[in-house]
Structure 1
């Protein structure tokens, strides 16, 4: 056995035999920086265990075999375009590191993506029964952000606070807002990925209603053999940062663009956006949008960071530009050494072709 293989096996045994066995619970929701109380508007368990069966109805809004749930009769009011946060804790009383987790959120060994979905429902208080089935669309994802950071790492660095933006172009009404993270430390075995999710009950107002997202079923968005779910995340040095990673599930829905499945087999064309301006110091979002729109094949622009941030290159599409507008200024990649955090990265993607509920939509 060579040294590199030994490191991989040692790290795998460390995180799968219970040395780092901490779990997590999404336990509070906030709107525009104002947090609701613990358990308000959430179908929340006291049990911090995970789901592992991607075919189970419990994949939608949690459920058996997880136990200790408390329902809420409250619905949280949000405006379309609002920033909404979900707060994760290792246990409902976590205030810091303990014998299982090296921080208050989840063991740092539990690397993986962090995502959020929405589903329009007749009555958000019918949570979790309204969860299983079609109607879900993804509004946020952070997978392998860089060579040293996963979505879970960014979540830990943010104190367990997951931040999403409610699309401004959706219809008003009740929605389930599904916060999710997937721990991949033992996912080299099929069926061993750990799924954590909770659904918040929200009512959206002020939306333009100009776009109806392509929707997907939960269960149904994931397969146990998906490359982002059945995966060995460890590299040849035994570190949990592979050279690439495919975030599972559909593409993120954004206003003004069609929504499509990320499971399509069409490959992307990756364009270095610095070529747009040559030696110029900045370019506009509209410049990049024009490039993406004019391409005849799917396009991913990866080399953009906002002015004033570090400029290390990221690998692969991770973050959509939901927080930026057409007047924002961006600059080409430079030589700064530090890596920007997830919230400062910008990736613009022309979606994959798909025949799964796929339509062209735009927001006025």
Structure 2
């Protein structure tokens, strides 16, 4: 969730790995989780998580980060679209890591963990092993395997004692959770809703919600660890390292819904008027069919070929039906319009099905569906001679 370049990896643990890999952390060492507020760049919208290990005896203060990737990777944009982006783990000194968040005016929080010296050493050695060139790269999965889930999993596997996270009755879906971070990016939110399918509407457990750094922070604050057979709080202390009053992103107007809502009113009024005047506006149907069909081709490609989570099935394809593009071509030829008009029966049925498909659509999409439905109804009403 944090975009950093791969040269950091080269610097990362080479700085201190050779010095401390054969040594043990002292009892004065601390292990903590760092949580950073969302930023304005696309890779920072959901915040960031990292692990900090500090030991004054070893003169060690390092941050381990699972959010590294490079735009220089061959065919990066194509691989990103297909969901084949590889991320990597790296580390850097804490004193060089923290100032970037001052520059970006993003708050940073630290949770010191209640681990035994044995648990701290086990985690530290696991992180050093993970940072080796042959181990540091992993296939990124936004919902299941990212910078936050890797932090959770590394700590849970190597804490040395069992960790108990609180559970809840899941009420929010993946889509609900990520939408909370899109209030300042409404058009991006529309794009995500178009590409992400029905599986994103499944309820997510408290454990699964930790793919988001803020939720990771909250769950660790409520978690317990068993020490000497007794449950104790996993977090000993929570510190605010940096706090900026405006670091939380502000909400924006729901512009896509507003724009398409106004467009629906205009097209509906225009359609009724032209129908009453017995005038045809075939050019409008040509553009609506063409644009919705083209959108369907893009959505269909992601549905069939992308490895991103929750892409299939995607019932946006009911209204953005790829065949619309083909029939837009037929509709453009005047002599074929009488035969092509029968296609509106199929289009109307698909549009109605989209309302009962069980997938949560973006509010703007409902206006798009209504626009298409208005044109379907107008074209299916028999013309009076």
Range class of TM-score, shorter chain: under 0.3
* TM-score when normalising by structure 2: 0.22
If each structure's strand is expressed as a fraction of its own residues, which one has the higher value?
1
TM-score (norm 1): 0.23
Larger radius of gyration: 2
